[in-house]
Amino acid sequence: MNNGLQGWTAFAGAQIEQRESSGNKYVVAHKRKQAYDSVSQKINLQMGTHYTLSAWIQVTGKNVPVIATVKTSKGYNLAGAIFAESNCWSMLKGGLTADTSGPAELYFESNNTSADIWIDSVSLQPFTEKEWNSHQVQSIDKARKRKILVKAVDKEGKPIRSASISIVQKKSGFPIGSAITNHILKNKAYQQWFTSRFSVATFANEMKWYSTESVQGKENYADADSMLQFAKQNNISVRGHNVFWDDPNYQPSWVSALSPEKLKSAVQKRIQSVVTRYKGQLIHWDVNNENMHFSFYESKLGKDFSGWVFNEVNKIDPKVTLFLNDYNTIEEIRDSLVTPSKYVQKVKEIKSYPGNNGLTIGIGLESHFTNVPNIPYMRSTIDTLAATGSPVWITEIDVANQPKQAEYFEEVLREAHSHPKVEGIVMWTGWSPKGECYRICLVDTNFKNLRGGDVVDKLLHEWSSTQVSGITNQNGILEATLFHGHYDVTITHPTKKNNNFTHPMQVLPINQSKKTTTQLIQLSI
């Protein structure tokens, strides 16, 4: 913005001017009468190219949503959104993948026409698909793998040279899983299919309040208990889903008619019942599901309900990570209720409740993609959310039925796995005997792969370490780069017959505090 309005023009009916404050120059769009009255710059796009966008935005008056839009010959592409503030610059991060080549126009809009839009330091950076994919591979190599040194020594601690070493992965260190249904309890094929692939599960419905107490005062945890026992027996971690669901359409049928006093009593009983029952057995709880979109409990029990319920669950089970879980944050720019800045604001709001200051709140991104995924926006949004320091999980990922459903499913899974701040992925692909799935099925009724299943199996294979074999050097060391996870290491002595041992080994993420990039594992034979 240092060259005045060079390159910038008024868009639609706005008036624009350059201003300066403390030596900083920026552009202002004012006297706006329509949402799209703005300031714009003409650009040229290349079809299939990914573009990352960043800009500093400020508004006058009250805080309002501002959307970055790219107008092309084919229509309008949303490239980013932020809940902009007055008297404070906020960074809008986003992007788009060009669906056509040729001239285009980038501008910033807001439905609040009384707000002036201030814009500074705009960056639009292009990446070919090859460059984007290369960055994903580099990110995976850095975030999901580690170089290890396996050293074989004898009983006196002396290195054994020319020993044969074989390394076989037993379990991935990165949690990948799926929703499961109670049909898994009596179906051996379902059990084998699931346990041979996944390390984490979410129960599709069986822990929800409407499932465990469909009739007031008559609790039934039979399915949830049995499914949790099955998970434990197969070393599968479980996300608790959910303590409450803020959508008024998904309450137990008897709840809606309760007075505020009776509802508060029922809510407290529910917390004590379900959280105490599964204390110490779950890795996460989705505490008040989708409460950025809905406010059933807040409308009846007060606006502090979310902060209060996080506090209550934490008091009962302080070791489980509590999640704010919602949809459309990475899938849908148009949804102003769950923009990244709104998400961060909600986390701060929950933490501001008395006693919650030190609480770790997980960010659960449901990731139900209904349209063509905007991969650059997905990456930028996760960047913004991860900057809070909160753990980030992809909790219910799927893609709606459309011509390139399987291809888009692979795209979003790759992007999620390659982001270094994503700590786990759960797909919303629960199976039923009728072949019904929420949006995408991985297998048919005979557990034969459908196209979605082929994608998942391909990626699971790609994201695991194949068997590594080699010979130790003169220092008794074999070097390898492996995905994080659990392994069996078999060492065979070079001269002594029938002298081999198998040891368990765990490849851990880099210790950021010690900055130790290479992991040394010494095993005696």
DSSP-derived 3-state class of residue 215: strand
Q: In what order do the strands lie in the sheet with 117-127?
A: 15-21, 24-30, 117-127, 50-59, 90-97
Angle between helices 340-351 and 375-386 (to 10 degrees): 20
* The token pair that represents 136 in the structure block: 């994903």
The pLDDT of residue 200 is: 98
Q: Where does the pLDDT of residue 511 fall: very low under 50, low under 70, confident under 90, or very high at 90 and above?
A: confident
Whether 131 sits among the annotated catalytic residues: the reply is no
Class of domain 175-253+267-291+322-427 (CATH, top level): alpha beta
Average pLDDT over residues 212-240: 98
Of the residues 109, 213, 290, 411, only one is catalytic, namely 290
For 173-236, list the strands marked E by DSSP.
Answer: 176-180, 200-203
Would you say 349 and 356 are in contact if contact means Cβ atoms under 8 Å apart?
A: no
Instruction: Give a three-class secondary structure readout of 269-308.
Output: HHHHHHHHHCCCCCCEEEEEECCCCCCHHHHHHCCCHHHH
Query: 201: which DSSP letter?
Result: E
* The token pair that represents 408 in the structure block: 């888009």
Average pLDDT over residues 82-105: 94
Of the residues 396, 410, 411, 415, only one is catalytic, namely 396
pLDDT over 70 (residue 100): yes
Closest to 16 in 3D by CA, of 122, 107, 105: 107
pLDDT over 90 (residue 499): no
The pLDDT of residue 524 is: 86
Angstrom distance (rounded) from CA 193 to CA 525? 36
> Could you report the per-residue pLDDT of 29-41, keeping only the tens digit for each?
999 999 999 999 9
Q: What is the dihedral of CA 83, 89, 91, 97, to 10 degrees?
A: 80
Q: Bridge-partner residues for 500, per DSSP?
A: 492
Whether 290 sits among the annotated catalytic residues: the reply is yes
Q: Where does the pLDDT of residue 133 fall: very low under 50, low under 70, confident under 90, or very high at 90 and above?
A: very high
Closest to 324 in 3D by CA, of 300, 297, 349: 349
Q: Where does the pLDDT of residue 500 fall: very low under 50, low under 70, confident under 90, or very high at 90 and above?
A: confident
- What share of the chain in percent tops pLDDT 70? 99
Pick the CATH number of 8-127 from 1.20.58.110, 3.40.50.10260, 3.10.450.50, 2.60.120.260: 2.60.120.260
Long-range pairs, 208-212, Cβ under 8 A, ≥24 = 208/241, 208/242, 208/245, 208/250, 209/243, 209/244, 209/245, 209/251, 209/252, 209/255, 209/270, 209/274, 210/250, 210/251, 210/252, 210/253, 212/273, 212/274
Q: How many residues does the chain have?
A: 525
b/e map 46-79, b = 16+ CB within 10 Å = eeebbbbbbbbbbbbeebbbbbbbbbbeeeebbb
Would you say 458 and 466 are in contact if contact means Cβ atoms under 8 Å apart?
A: no
> Could you report the per-residue pLDDT of 281-292, keeping only the tens digit for each?
999 999 999 999
Q: Where does the pLDDT of residue 510 fall: very low under 50, low under 70, confident under 90, or very high at 90 and above?
A: confident
Q: Where does the pLDDT of residue 513 fall: very low under 50, low under 70, confident under 90, or very high at 90 and above?
A: low
The pLDDT of residue 512 is: 61
Closest to 396 in 3D by CA, of 341, 439, 452: 439
Q: Where does the pLDDT of residue 461 fall: very low under 50, low under 70, confident under 90, or very high at 90 and above?
A: very high
Would you say 507 and 175 are in contact if contact means Cβ atoms under 8 Å apart?
A: no
Q: What is the dihedral of CA 18, 21, 26, 28, to 10 degrees?
A: -60
Residue 381 vs residue 524, higher pLDDT:
381
> Could you report the per-residue pLDDT of 408-458, keeping only the tens digit for each?
999 999 999 999 999 999 999 999 998 888 999 999 999 999 999 999 999
> Could you report the per-residue pLDDT of 135-150, keeping only the tens digit for each?
999 999 999 999 999 9
For 393, the enclosing helix (H) or strand (E) is strand 392-399
pLDDT over 90 (residue 515): no
β-strands 368-369, 38-45: how paired? unpaired
Angstrom distance (rounded) from CA 189 to CA 202? 19
> Could you report the per-residue pLDDT of 347-405, keeping only the tens digit for each?
999 999 999 999 999 999 999 999 999 999 999 999 999 999 999 999 999 999 999 99
Domain residue ranges in the chain? 8-127, 144-170+465-524, 175-253+267-291+322-427
What is the pTM (predicted TM-score) of this model? 0.95
Rounded mean pLDDT of the chain? 95
Average pLDDT over residues 87-111: 95
Angstrom distance (rounded) from CA 147 to CA 153? 20
For 3, the enclosing helix (H) or strand (E) is none
> Could you report the per-residue pLDDT of 263-286, keeping only the tens digit for each?
999 999 999 999 999 999 999 999
Q: How many CB atoms lie within 10 A of CB 43?
A: 16
> Could you report the per-residue pLDDT of 300-350, keeping only the tens digit for each?
999 999 999 999 999 999 999 999 999 999 999 989 899 998 999 999 999
pLDDT over 90 (residue 497): no
pLDDT over 70 (residue 204): yes
The pLDDT of residue 213 is: 98
> Could you tell me the fold of the domain covering 144-170+465-524?
Immunoglobulin-like (2.60.40)
The pLDDT of residue 437 is: 87
